[in-house]
Amino acid sequence: MNQRLSEIKYCSGEECRYVLVFHKTETDSAGKTTDSDCGTVTEIRAKKIILAMPRRSLELIKSEFFENEWLKENLQSVLIQKAFKMFFAYENPWWRSLGLVAGRSVTDLPIRQTYYMGTECEQEGGEPTMNSLLMASYNDIETIPFWKGLEKGKEFVGYQPNQTECKYEDHKIVPQHEYQITQEMVDTAQFQISVLHNQKGLPTPYSAVYQEWSANPYGGGWHEWKAGYRIDEIMCRMRNPVKEQDIYIVGEAYSYEQGWVEGALNTAESMLEEYFDLKIPSWLTSDKDYETWLKANHNYNFLPLSCPGCTCTLENNPNICGNCKEVLNEVTEFAYEGINNVER
Ligand SMILES: Cc1cc2nc3c(=O)[nH]c(=O)nc-3n(C[C@H](O)[C@H](O)[C@H](O)COP(=O)(O)OP(=O)(O)OC[C@H]3O[C@@H](n4cnc5c(N)ncnc54)[C@H](O)[C@@H]3O)c2cc1C
């Protein structure tokens, strides 16, 4: 579509409550999307709006709507978490000789996780070669700045792998990408991979790419609730934050299943049922296991608690122990006894 929603204007009239202002965008051959130079703007009229987008995307939209006090206070109730992935292509799956076939290894080095992926000749319709893919790094949050610091410098050019049916053009060995990987990033990750596997002289990758999730319009890969916010109330109200307006917000950011697609789907489904009077689709409940799970965990409303949120108090909550202090003392005594016995 290559259109960016830049502004929502209020308007009055039977046929229109809102005017959505879209800016034309362009995606270049490396996959980078920016506003188009021609400055084309399209205006669309709408009676209702569903904004299915995360916190940073919402913050970038100009509108009187976002001046609402509750919304201003609670849009910031979630932390935006950055994410990063790096892939290396090798001429053979060297990890197989270490007994590693699939799955991942985890480390406290900045690469954090390495995933063992496929080999060309084992793929359906693949080339008869041993060319193989490794997710060299899957990291997030505090390790991102380590890799951001290596982004500037000589681009990684790779080399022509020996076993290919047809040669790659030199400039295509390493794909042109929105984030162009540098030699230093590859060398550093390759060193950490050697340390992680306790190996010396591993083959070097012939190609590499990376992607990071921190730029606009996303701001990050996923979200986490901040402490001190009533997430039950916010989750319910965020779907229609300003009662007088027919503007709805859904997505993973303000959901119970943050970091997962389920968060986006559950808030969207609950919003459609509550505000658009749509019934739960029959194909969702035709899976009896899923229906049982949905009833037990979400009481059919796709949010963990019925809206407007938890109304229970500490006094009448059956999960409150009542004699917490005694229970804690007893447990602590027991733990000390254990420690003393070990010391003896
Ligand atoms: C590295 C990584 C790995 C993940 N792995 C998994 C996984 O294994 N399993 C899983 O369930 N989930 C995973 N997730 C999370 C999952 O991708 C998200 O939870 C999900 O995509 C959130 O959906 P959403 O609809 O809330 O937001 P998004 O998917 O971010 O959708 C928002 C959309 O709005 C568009 N948009 C933003 N601003 C504007 C604007 N101004 N105008 C027009 N359009 C706009 C964006 O382009 C985007 O298409 C992963 C995420 C990352 C980053």
152-188: pLDDT as tens digits: 999 999 999 988 777 888 778 999 888 999 999 999 9
- Among residues 196, 223, 211, which one has the least CA distance to residue 141? 223
Q: How confident is the model at residue 305 (pLDDT cuts 50, 70, 90)?
A: confident
- Domains parsed from the chain with CATH numbers: 1-47 (no CATH), 83-213 (3.90.660.10)
* Whole-Å CA distances, 336 to 7, 97, 266, 331: 62, 47, 45, 9
29 CA from centroid of ligand 1 (Å): 22
pLDDT average, residue stretch 107-135: 96
For the ranges 123-132, 139-148, 272-281, 300-309, which has the lowest average pLDDT? Answer: 300-309
Rounded-to-integer distance, Cα 131 and Cα 338, Å: 54
pLDDT score at 282 = 85
pTM, full prediction: 0.86
For the purposes of burial, counting CB atoms within 10 Å of the CB of 237, is it exposed (0-12), middle (13-18) or buried (19 or more)? buried
pLDDT average, residue stretch 286-296: 81
Residues with CB under 6 A from ligand 1: 4-5, 52-54, 57, 61, 83, 85, 213, 217-218, 221-222, 251-253, 259-261, 263-264
298 or 57, greater pLDDT: 57
Q: What is the pLDDT of residues 308-330, one digit of tens each?
A: 887 766 666 666 677 888 888 88
* Average pLDDT over the chain, rounded to an integer: 91
Ligand 1, residue 211: give the atom nearest the CA.
Answer: 1
pLDDT score at 316 = 63
- Among residues 200, 173, 205, which one has the least CA distance to residue 189? 205
Residue 258 phi/psi, 5° resolution?
A: -60, 145
Nearest CA to ligand 1 atom 38: 57
Rounded-to-integer distance, Cα 238 and Cα 254, Å: 7
For the ranges 61-75, 142-156, 168-182, which has the lowest average pLDDT? Answer: 168-182
Nearest CA to ligand 1 atom 43: 4
Rounded-to-integer distance, Cα 106 and Cα 197, Å: 11
Residue 196, pLDDT > 70, answer yes
